[in-house]
Chain A
Amino acid sequence: MPFSRREFVGGLFISVAAGRVFAGESSKASAPAASQPAQGLKPNLFVHVASDGQVTIACHRSEMGQGVRSTLPVLLADELGADPKRIRIIQGDGDKRYGDQNTDGSSSVRSHYTELRKAAATARELLMAAAAKQLGVSPSKLSAHDDAVWHGSKSIPFAKLADAAAKLPVPKPEAVKLRPESELKHCFQDLPSVDARPIVMGAAQFGADVRLPGMLIAVIARPPVVGGKVRSFDAKAALAVKGVKRVLKMPEPTAPWKFQPWGGVAVLADNTWAAMRGRNALQIDWDPGPNAVYDSEQYAKQLSATVHEPGKVARNTGDAEAALGKAARVVEAEYHVPHLAHVPMEPPVAIARMVDGVCEAWASTQNPQAARTEMARVLGVDEEKTICHVTLLGGAFGRKSKPDFVSEAAWLCREAGVPVRVQFTREDDLRHDFYNAVNTQLLTAALDADGKVSAWRQRTALSPIGSLFTGADQASANDLQQGVTDLPLAIPNVRAETCKAPAYVRVGWLRSVYNIFHAFAAGSFMDELAHARGKDPHENLLELLGPARIVTLQELGIEKLPNYGTPLDEHPIDTGRMRAVIDQAAKMSGFADRKGRALGIAAHRSFLTYVAAVASVVRDSRGKIAVDEVWLAYDAGLVVNTERARSQMEGAVIFGMSHAFYGGATMKNGATEQSNFHDYRLIRMPQAPRRIHVAQVKSGKPPCGIGEPGVPPIAPAIANAIFALTGQRIRELPLVRAGIV
């Protein structure tokens, strides 16, 4: 099968880089972005037009399955006027000059769309200025496409312009004009994958695939309880394992934990199997520390008591308490979602070496700049003395935005004096995760004499990510925007409160984060209200959402909304867009006409994107609940790569199903009880719906998030469908605890 140069070069870039290293030719650490040749036009880190016309685009965001390497470079090439099929793609190292590289928050396109286009447009304007000089015409008479600058039917290829353009002064970003979007001929459509072919050939390079001469593999026994310490250890049996070379005690972290390595004892061996066996042979006496009191079962009871008392007001309009006091009927429900684990198929892994006082790492990291910061911190050196290359990520979902495993490798390679790969086992991954917050919510609604919803009160207790950094014990404004303070409700009296929930484990971002449980509770409660009111769930949803409008802060009863780091006037909360996706999902699924089928509907806005989902559930041959079909409609504004957006939504359905069916990391005496895929289960092929239908609703608005927003509506849509099938209301995840899946 012929494949384009872009696919070939794009896919194999990392292999080439690692191949060079493996051959042992490089004795000096490579400087960041040294792989970009110097000749030709290179007005910034993103775009290089070589003297021979070859266009190289740097992808500065991490590829973890969302297709960013098949998306951003096309956007840049299109803005530049290069044929995306001919570009070469390189993976950007961790480098502040790129700006933000933390590949999370579904932000790669939505937060970088204009700045990346500007980077490419800068190069285009320089090429056009060079062409204008050669042709003696005004640059305004010229256009750039197909790797050339055109004046009517006459063209000068980039190859003949690059060196001349490189001599011109680089215009300031504010002076650079973008093309009209209508000129972006290669974007806003299904784009080919640059990595699929190396992946199916087994040639793609993930974190554990990088090889350095003389390297050892480290497997680390970390404290089973966060903050635990090594009292003493005996390495004799570990050192007796053939292949084990060293046993080293890791530095101990101090609170707050941030992204620090976990401590413990590392076993270094010349092969991975020996390192794993050596680790198992260690005798360690642990001091479990204060978090050993944590029992997640008991803690859930504590959270339940907490949400039955008033909390700190997060939003307030009207007088919800008064309306509840004079309600004709009060509907109340408590929801609970446990800690969830990321479990990317590739457990965390990084390799590092010291060369001439510089620590150079290759890591499957979402955040190579944070990795460098942490490497420098553990080594006590300046960040300039660190390098972080980014491999392909074998899944990440937020786990790999925490660079603890990279700094473990950095510290160990210096201590051991040889390159070291830190390999998490699956057990390590499950026991030493930054789990999604545990959450309990109490939702209370007042129905008036006419059956109208006159008040909505939502109390949420979540163990916040802020606990990692400041020891915070309740949600911040940033946390509450994820489905509490940003929830549009056409209800006169709305009050939300946040209640205390101290963290006893490390808590971190997991694909869609707090939206998972806020959407589960609100989406389920909407359905409860529909049934309490004797209303169709679809119509009820629209009624509680209210007419198409831009929702003001005043209507929400808040003073400000972080809005995922985006100004509210650019990305307002637009109930018209929400109504459109709800109607689209309802229409596709035949919701109005569902007699004889058990369908559930839910909708949620997150990362600026509007998503509605309808799930169909049935009983399988064993009488258990199965999801047989899902319809999902999304409005993410302009979508550069519609194919990867579709695949992200399909994947989000399965990801959401895994949470709903099986998600739940539990802790006893402070230690995580689950250890591998037998007790932290995921959806498998036979449970995948027969069909997942995804529809894009096109609003033409600026780009919104893609990777995460598909997840939140899935669990409530399934729970609502289960109610339709069985009459059983699901208020606690995972479903497996109720014995119905």
Chain B
Amino acid sequence: MISLTVNGVPHELDVDPEMPILWALRDVLNLTGTKYGCGQALCGACTVHLDNETVRSCCTPIARARGRAVTTIEGLSPDGNHPLQKAWCDLNVPQCGFCQAGQIMTAAALLAQIPKPSDEEIDRSMAGNLCRCGTYTRIRAAVKRAAGLPEE
């Protein structure tokens, strides 16, 4: 049994401790907002917060979440009104949308740590999150908008 909280809700999971957090979220808890993209921590689609850090949930065993708090896109804000979620909608960032949960979770951790990031800090933080549709320029602008920075 692995005790943890997910989006503030306590859970006891009877799973193999080696099971990656991603599959525990998706297949056991039916929280499907976190996506599988590569399984090798290469694309960032599976990014969630473990306490206050971002982790690639596809490569992080559920045992590492024992006694800790996991936050997924479903739990980022109670009503979808996190400044990043609002900025993402305002600027129509998503195309297919598949990578965007991971993008937003990475950006949320960045802004929690550095409320007014520089362009370089944004690029460096977001470098692990792939977007095949190519929404990068809008993601940059949306992160700045959420941070209250000028977008240009």
Closest B residue to A342 using CB positions: B132
Tell which of A201, A217, A395, A676 touches B40, judged by Cβ atoms closer than 8 Å.
A676
Q: Which of A682-706 contact B (CB under 8 A)?
A: 682-686, 688-692
Tell which of A394, A396, A683, A692 touches B97, judged by Cβ atoms closer than 8 Å.
A394
- Contact, CB under 8 Å: B73 / A201: yes
Q: Which of A407-442 contact B (CB under 8 A)?
A: 423, 425-426
Tell which of B38, B93, B123, B136 touches A196, judged by Cβ atoms closer than 8 Å.
B93
B98 to chain A, nearest CB (A): 3
- Contact, CB under 8 Å: B104 / A200: yes
Q: How far apart are the CA atoms of A396 and B98 in the complex, in Å?
A: 11
Closest B residue to A688 using CB positions: B136
Interface centre among B20, B73, B95 (most CB of A within 10 A): B95
Q: How far apart are the CA atoms of A676 and B37 in the complex, in Å?
A: 10
- Contact, CB under 8 Å: B132 / A692: no
- Contact, CB under 8 Å: B139 / A392: no
Closest B residue to A689 using CB positions: B137
- Contact, CB under 8 Å: B40 / A426: yes
A572 neighbours in B (Cβ, 8 Å): none
A686 to chain B, nearest CB (A): 4
- Contact, CB under 8 Å: B97 / A199: yes
- Contact, CB under 8 Å: A204 / B97: yes
A373 CB-CB contact with B under 8 Å: no
- Contact, CB under 8 Å: B33 / A647: no
Closest A residue to B106 using CB positions: A685
Interface contact tally, CB-CB below 8 A? 195
Closest A residue to B88 using CB positions: A200
Chain B 88-100, CB-CB to A under 8 Å as 1, else 0, gives 1100111111111
B42 CB-CB contact with A under 8 Å: yes
Given that A273-B27, A426-B39, A426-B40 are known contacts, is A200 also in contact with B94, CB under 8 Å in the complex? yes
- Contact, CB under 8 Å: B40 / A678: yes
B67 CB-CB contact with A under 8 Å: no
Chain B 22-40, CB-CB to A under 8 Å as 1, else 0, gives 0100111011111111111
Closest A residue to B124 using CB positions: A686
- Contact, CB under 8 Å: A202 / B73: yes
A448 CB-CB contact with B under 8 Å: no
- Contact, CB under 8 Å: B73 / A650: no
Q: How far apart are the CA atoms of A655 and B16 in the complex, in Å?
A: 39
Given that A344-B96, A392-B96 are known contacts, is A200 also in contact with B132, CB under 8 Å in the complex? no
- Contact, CB under 8 Å: B85 / A200: yes
Q: How far apart are the CA atoms of A580 and B130 in the complex, in Å?
A: 34
- Contact, CB under 8 Å: B36 / A208: yes
B45 neighbours in A (Cβ, 8 Å): 345
A205 neighbours in B (Cβ, 8 Å): 32
B139 neighbours in A (Cβ, 8 Å): 685
Q: How far apart are the CA atoms of A193 and B95 in the complex, in Å?
A: 9
- Contact, CB under 8 Å: B42 / A66: no
B104 neighbours in A (Cβ, 8 Å): 200
Closest A residue to B93 using CB positions: A196
Given that A1-B89, A647-B135 are known contacts, is A394 also in contact with B72, CB under 8 Å in the complex? no
Closest A residue to B152 using CB positions: A691
B74 CB-CB contact with A under 8 Å: yes
B150 to chain A, nearest CB (A): 14
- Contact, CB under 8 Å: A345 / B131: yes
A682 neighbours in B (Cβ, 8 Å): 130, 132
Given that A199-B100, A271-B23, A346-B96 are known contacts, is A206 also in contact with B35, CB under 8 Å in the complex? yes
- Contact, CB under 8 Å: A653 / B98: no
Binding site for B on A (CB under 8 A): 1, 63-67, 192-193, 195-197, 199-206, 208-209, 211, 217, 242, 271-273, 276, 343-347, 392-397, 423, 425-426, 643, 647-648, 650-655, 658, 676-678, 682-686, 688-692
Closest 9 CB pairs of A and B: A202-B33, A654-B134, A394-B98, A65-B96, A65-B95, A202-B73, A199-B97, A688-B136, A651-B134
17 example contacts (A-B, Cβ-Cβ < 8 A) are as follows A1-B81, A196-B92, A201-B85, A202-B32, A206-B32, A217-B27, A272-B27, A347-B37, A395-B98, A654-B133, A678-B42, A685-B122, A685-B123, A685-B127, A685-B140, A686-B124, A688-B140
Known A-B contacts: A655-B132, A685-B129. Give 5 more (CB < 8 A): A345-B35, A346-B98, A643-B92, A651-B133, A677-B43
